[in-house]
Chains A and B, each alone.
Chain A
Amino acid sequence: MAVLRRQRSPQLFSSRPAGALRTLLFIALSIMLMVYDHQTGRLKQMHAALATVVWPVQVIVDAPHSLLNWAEQKIATHRALVDENAQLKSQLLQANVSLQQLAALQQENERLRNLMQATAQMGGRVSVASILSADLDPFRHLVVIDKGSHDGVYEGQTVLDAYGIVGEVTRADPLASEVTLISDPGQAIQVEVNRTGLRTLAVGSADLTQLALPYITNNADVKQGDLVVSSGLGGRYPAGYPVGVVSQFERDPAEPFAHVNARTAADLNHGHEVLLYWPAQAPPTSELPPKPATALKPGAKPVRKKP
């Protein structure tokens, strides 16, 4: 059917046929961009420029959500506010109680570490960022947050929420940053089972609430309900933050490794606010302290894990 019609004179309708040369040029350009972006990760300026161009889109998309939030705050009843206040107070009290213990434990830990001549860093600084409500690529787990390199965000920075590790910053644009969640199919995080100290890797699955722990042997001491925390070994994530809870442990004698899944500790599905984490002492390979609002250091290692 297509052949029949093609004999009609093209000038009647279109004054510019699809130039094959031009098409080839742009195909080649796209492929070159992809290869260059993937191999070197050095298209930061271009990324930043494009991100600034699409920034209004993100704002538009996020607007109804922010508006709703704002309206909710405006028309919240006195009763609801009092209730919420009481609830927050009790939460704060509980948090403070555990903090008291934490201080004591931290001191004890430091003392013990001093005895063992070990140096490990605890603590660090966090700051709150909002997730812009936008759906990105449906086959990857990425979110955009409203803080960028102007706020001291750097690539590779750890992102937490109130319950555990959320992911890491994979691109820091001036006004916003892109965070790859730990559940992203291309992500892996060094973890240890808190109860036994067994070290392994947790890799993302296609599911926002699940991580796979594919390298646990059949005879390993792992139970359902075991807390999995970051081990800090990769140098990427700080040690000791919750990553997940083992939700499934199945031995399969036919396979070298057991089937282990963990439910993510962080609320990747629902949270609207996340915490950006700055380590207390910058690791040797890493970036400037956050406060000087200078742009990202050029020497920062590209950490694009996703490609």
Chain B
Amino acid sequence: MSDFTPPRGVWIIAASYLTALVLTVWPLPGWAELLRPVWVPLITIYWCLWLPQRVGVITAFVAGLLVDALSGTLLGEHALALVLVAWATLWLHLQVRVFPWWQQCVVVLGLLTLNAFVLFWVDGMLGYTLGTSLRWMPPLVSALLWPWIMQVMSRLQQRYHVG
């Protein structure tokens, strides 16, 4: 991580978010929809862990607004959830960095549950209470995927010297 060079690899961060957004709305068969990982929070957690000086609550807020616009939810719903996730990740990032992979998975599960809880809470206030028992599936699936996402992302980060 070279601090003196101008910001490198902004486009990698942007591309990772674009990919996450595309995957968020990529059409899946109905049964697989609840197994879809929550890509944008995952990417946000990754960047907040390893690049906290570049990606933080502002990025999370903007990404959340884009998710809101894309998925037709109330403007600010995903933004709020992602801001909280980013903040919690930044708060924990020094510890989580040195955790073994399975502990990281547990932390990620916790962070994504926070994300899901905020969405659940807002939806509940709006009266969308159907299918609530299934809301815990996506965080679980995503947390299990964390080691692989971590691998792919860190390889990308090293390859393109994002820092």
Q: Which residues of A contact B (CB under 8 A)?
A: 1-2, 5-6, 8, 10, 13-19, 22-23, 26-27, 29-34, 37-38, 43, 46-47, 50-51, 53-54, 57-58, 60-61, 65, 133-140, 142, 144, 170-171, 178, 185-186, 205-206, 208, 269, 306-307
Q: How many Å lie between the Cα of A65 and that of B64 in the bound state?
A: 26
Q: What is the CA–CA distance of A15 and B55 in the complex, to the nearest angstrom? A: 12
Asked if A5 contacts B94 (CB within 8 A), the reply is yes
When chains A and B are docked, how far (Å) is the Cα of A243 from the Cα of B132?
27
The number of A-B residue pairs with CB atoms under 8 Å apart is: 155
Let me know if A34 and B122 touch, CB within 8 A: yes
A186 to chain B: closest CB distance in Å? 6
Closest to B90 in A: A18
Selected from B26, B56, B68, B130, the residue in CB contact (under 8 A) with A18 is B56
Query: Please, how many angstroms separate the alpha-carbon atoms of A142 and B53 in the complex?
Result: 37
Q: Does A30 contact B79, Cβ atoms closer than 8 Å?
A: yes
A-B contact pairs, 12 of them (CB 8 A): A5-B94, A22-B56, A26-B57, A26-B58, A30-B79, A34-B77, A37-B75, A38-B126, A51-B69, A57-B70, A58-B25, A171-B72
Known A-B contacts A10-B94, A16-B52; A137 and B72 likewise in contact (beta carbons under 8 Å): yes
Give the residues in chain A near B144, CB-CB below 8 Å.
Answer: none
Q: Decide if A139 touches B131 in the complex (CB within 8 Å).
A: yes
Give CA–CA (A6, B95) in the complex, Å.
7
Interface set, chain B 42-86, CB cutoff 8 A to A: 52-53, 56-58, 60-61, 64-66, 68-77, 79-80, 83-84, 86
Q: Given A5-B98, A50-B69, A137-B71, do A185 and B128 touch, yes or no (CB 8 Å)?
A: yes
Chain A residues contacting B70 (CB-CB under 8 Å) are 54, 57-58, 134, 136
Which residue, A15, A19, A34, has most C-beta atoms of chain B within 10 A? Answer: A34
Contact of A50 among B3, B65, B87, B95 (CB under 8 A): B65
Determine which residue in B56, B84, B92 has the highest number of CB atoms from chain A within 10 A of its CB, and name it. Answer: B56
Closest to B89 in A: A18
- Contact partner of A14 among B61, B72, B93, B128, CB < 8 A? B93
User: Quick one: which of B19-43 are within 8 Å of A by CB?
Assistant: 21-22, 25-28, 30, 33-34, 36
Q: Is the CB of A34 within 8 A of B94?
A: no
Query: Across the interface, do A139 and B25 meet the contact criterion of CB distance under 8 Å?
Result: no
Residues of B at the A interface (CB closer than 8 Å) are 3, 18, 21-22, 25-28, 30, 33-34, 36, 52-53, 56-58, 60-61, 64-66, 68-77, 79-80, 83-84, 86-87, 90-95, 97-98, 122-123, 126-128, 130-131, 135
Q: Which 7 A-B pairs have the closest CB atoms?
A: A18-B90, A33-B76, A50-B69, A30-B80, A34-B76, A134-B25, A30-B76
The dominant DSSP class at the B interface is helix
What is the bound-complex CA distance between A134 and B69, given in angstroms? 13
Contact status A37-B58, CB under 8 Å: no
A23 to B85, CA, bound (A): 10
Other than the known A14-B94, A17-B90, A65-B27, what 16 A-B pairs have Cβ atoms closer than 8 Å? A10-B94, A18-B52, A18-B90, A26-B57, A26-B58, A29-B79, A30-B76, A33-B75, A34-B74, A34-B77, A50-B75, A54-B66, A135-B26, A185-B131, A206-B130, A206-B131
Chain A residues whose C-beta falls within 8 Å of the C-beta of B22 in the assembled complex: 57, 60-61
In the bound complex, residues from chain B placing their C-beta under 8 Å from that of A134 are: 25-27, 70
The answer to whether A50 and B57 touch (CB under 8 A), given A6-B94, A23-B83, A34-B76, is: no
Write the nearest CB–CB distance from B14 to chain A, whole angstroms: 12
Note all chain A residues with C-beta closer than 8 A to B34.
138
**Contacts A135-B26, A135-B28, A137-B72 known; A26 to B128 CB distance under 8 Å?**
no
A-chain residues with CB within 8 Å of residue B33 when the two chains form the complex: 135, 138
**Cβ A186 vs Cβ B71 within 8 A:** no
- How many Å lie between the Cα of A205 and that of B18 in the bound state? 32
**If A23-B57, A47-B75, A185-B128 touch, does A14 touch B69 (CB 8 Å cutoff)?**
no
B53 near A61 (CB under 8 angstroms)?
A: no
Residue of B nearest to A12 (CB): B94
